[in-house]
Homo-oligomer: A and B are copies of this chain.
């Protein structure tokens, strides 16, 4: 039996399944637009072979090691590096065996779908992973990873990626992007401006980061105007390397619209001493509005990823650092939070702000009503824990009736896991085709419209919204 069904994620009922198959046939082979993600530009700059299967697929993937940890497996045994440089497992095969022996934990999860897809379609490996098959799978994948055709650029082309965006901090020198540009390779890899380290007073090293920002740009970041100018310069620099978008990861969606004087006074506080929680919150809020105003000036699309309570476990943060699967969503309000920004620039022609949520309750109550009326607002796809078959389906069910399809922006894979990119886009395409097929069978849409929409959702909307 094949590892994966050809009809996976399609409706069970025969007539709807037939429509879904037909729609999917129209979009299966479309190029991939990946407008938001966290792949490493160094891969494409150097085009070196990936290391062993565990280092490629398990160690960097917090979806995988968090699930294993939740069942009592220490992170050290999974090769996750310690902050103090202490010993962790480094033998790829040992890590892989532990992972394989616990593969049943992923039943019903999106990780399972992505992994099986990667095994079957990328590595031509039709084995179900388990303790018994661990070594055979490891050897098979390891052999493939040594081949030229499994290098990053070759995979990029094999995946039919038309454009991919990476994400770099405001202080990044973009040297890998420069190296890609200078290499003559024609793959389109663009950067994204992510200024959290210089807009969030709670970010580690915030005040030192402001000084570095001044040095890089030649602007006087001791003053509010100099600081804003430094952002403008960095945004322009990022645009030189293809950036069409900025990205902002904030604990809430709070925005503010202070007078210039009040903003300058607040900047003086946060740039010279430890901010109180309220000052930090207000500064982040003000900076979202400042970034939106700059987007009106320079045409960059703005992305707001709100709602994650980062590094929930003190102990894991102390021993392993950031981004170790302990980022837990909380309730997020958008209606009051976005009002200051929207009153400032919400009706500006040409402005695009893409909203993401980790609080699904906001889809139908807040986000669809907002995006269904403000011309600058678009809904980002189901994100993070909701970037899954049922999460994507719920996103459509909870937003389409109020905001329609055309206030959404297609799919984002938002991933660090390069081999999973085609698998994730495939899931999104299948789930969207299944949803459209159900609408057709329910008499809510004509089939020719569904064909057009399937194409829009898989390709056109992302390309248009992100101006790629």
Chain A contact residues, CB within 8 Å of chain B: 1, 4-5, 7-13, 15-16, 66-67, 69-72, 104-110, 112-113, 128, 309, 312-316, 325-331, 333, 335-336, 339, 342-343, 346-347, 349, 358-361, 364-366, 368-375, 377, 385-386, 388-391, 397-398, 400-407, 438-439, 441-446, 449, 452-453
Contact = CB atoms under 8 A, between A and B. Distances in A.
B9 A12 contact: no
A391 B365 CA distance: 11
Contact of A9 (B339, B400, B403, B443): B443
A82 to B, nearest CB: 15
B335 A366 contact: no
B108 A400 contact: yes
A208 to B, nearest CB: 28
A442 B385 contact: no
Contacts of A329: 335, 365-366, 369
A423 B316 CA distance: 43
Contacts of A4: 443
23 contacts: A5-B443, A7-B443, A8-B442, A12-B442, A67-B372, A70-B403, A72-B349, A72-B375, A107-B404, A107-B453, A309-B335, A312-B370, A315-B347, A316-B347, A330-B366, A358-B365, A360-B361, A364-B385, A364-B391, A385-B401, A389-B444, A390-B397, A390-B398
A373 B66 contact: yes
How many copies of this chain are found per oligomer?
3
A441 to B, nearest CB: 5
A415 to B, nearest CB: 16
Contact of A315 (B66, B343, B349): B343
A406 B104 CA distance: 9
Nearest to A361: B361
A12 B10 contact: no
A369 B349 CA distance: 38
B8 A71 contact: no
Nearest to A402: B385
B385 A109 contact: no
A70 B373 contact: yes
Contacts of A343: 313-315
Nearest to A440: B5
A335 B332 CA distance: 13
